[in-house]
């Protein structure tokens, strides 16, 4: 089904996007589960490096993405740029987190044994975002999930799909440039 996208300020048609079908959704879930099998094996600092590079790509595209958020959602330009800055900030935070996924080690009541905590990725994370924060809410969830070894499926608002497409293109550029094809074959 083709969905028309209109500017909230003046109602002008700016684009049309194709909504997915049930079989398309099932295909996305299958590919995401395949990606998880590989991504979870990457050490957290390496996953953090990919998120750091995504943050750098967002810095390079801040003005254009901020303008798109403003235009498609109807926010002021400063709010659009601020939302992209939030994305950059969560990337920086997540990179730091990727070096802090540690557990505690403790003595056991059994002689010669120790117990320890170890984090394990959960799997597939679904993210649903609203039109009024078309990119920041996704990034808050996705960047933290990615450094923890999870993969994400994003259902953006049907009112702001162009912002989601732009974000996915930015991320795809980073993944492709860093040979993440084995992890994310759909990119």
**What confidence tier does 184 reach under pLDDT thresholds 50, 70, 90?**
low
Please state, in angstroms and rounded to a whole number, the distance separating the CA atoms of residues 108 and 89: 40
Residue 75 has what pLDDT? 93
Residue 149 has what pLDDT? 96
pLDDT at 64 over 80: yes
Question: Whole-prediction pTM value?
Answer: 0.89
Please state the rounded mean pLDDT for residues 125-153: 96
Residue 181 has what pLDDT? 61
Summarised one tens digit per residue, pLDDT across range 90-101 is 999 999 999 998
Please state, in angstroms and rounded to a whole number, the distance separating the CA atoms of residues 54 and 38: 19
Q: How far is CA 144 from CA 45, 52, 98, 165, in A?
A: 12, 12, 9, 20
Residue 107 has what pLDDT? 87
**Could you give all domains of the chain from N- to C-terminal order, each with its CATH number?**
24-177 (3.40.605.10)
| 174 close to 50: Cβ distance less than 8 angstroms | yes
Please state, in angstroms and rounded to a whole number, the distance separating the CA atoms of residues 32 and 26: 10
Residue 7 has what pLDDT? 85
Q: Which two tokens stand for residue 77?
A: 């330009």
pLDDT at 187 over 60: no
Please state the rounded mean pLDDT for residues 115-119: 84
Please state, in angstroms and rounded to a whole number, the distance separating the CA atoms of residues 71 and 28: 28
What is the residue-averaged pLDDT of the chain? 92
């Amino acid at each position: 089904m083709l969905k028309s996208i209109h500017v909230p300020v003046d109602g002008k048609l700016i684009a049309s996007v194709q909504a997915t079908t049930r079989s398309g959704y099932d295909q996305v879930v299958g590919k995401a589960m395949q990606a998880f099998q590989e991504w979870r094996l990457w050490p957290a600092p390496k996953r953090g490096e990919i998120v750091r590079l995504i943050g750098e790509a967002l810095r390079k595209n801040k003005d254009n993405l901020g303008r798109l958020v403003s235009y498609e959602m109807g926010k002021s330009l400063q709010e659009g740029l601020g939302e992209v800055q939030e994305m950059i900030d969560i990337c920086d935070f997540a990179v730091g987190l990727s070096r802090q996924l540690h557990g505690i080690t403790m003595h056991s009541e059994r002689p010669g044994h120790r117990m320890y905590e170890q984090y394990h990725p959960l799997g597939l994370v679904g993210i649903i975002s609203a039109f009024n924060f078309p990119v920041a809410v996704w990034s808050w969830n996705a960047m933290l999930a990615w450094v923890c070894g999870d993969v994400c499926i994003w259902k953006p608002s049907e009112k702001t799909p162009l912002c989601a497409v732009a974000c996915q293109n930015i991320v795809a550029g980073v993944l492709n440039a860093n040979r993440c094809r084995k992890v994310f074959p759909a990119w």
